[in-house]
Amino acid sequence: MEILIGRSLYFYDFTGQVVTCDTACSSSVATINSAVGSLRGDKYEMAIVNGYNLSLLPKLFVLLS
């Protein structure tokens, strides 16, 4: 996934830090928290945050519910 993100950023000519967070259900909250901390600390002027949940196997979905 990191390669896809890196190539997308290169294509759109974005610069800056790239962070991927794989923490199951809390990845969106963790990345938003990281972005807000960086913005409040004046490390960056802007942050783009994206979250998703990819459940391909029905067994895994049932086990985690």
Q: Report DSSP letters for 1-65, one per residue.
A: -HHHHHHHHHHTT--S-------GGGHHHHHHHHHHHHHHTTS-S------------HHHHHHH-
Q: Which domain holds residue 59?
A: 2-64
Residues near 12 by beta carbon (within 8 Å), at least 6 away in sequence: none
Write down the pLDDT at residue 37. 93
Q: Rounded to whole angstroms, what are the CA distances from 39 to 15, 23, 56, 60, 61? A: 15, 22, 34, 36, 35
Per-residue tens of pLDDT for the chain, all 65 residues: 778 888 888 899 988 888 888 777 788 888 899 899 999 999 889 998 888 777 777 776 677 66
How many structural domains is the chain composed of?
A: 1
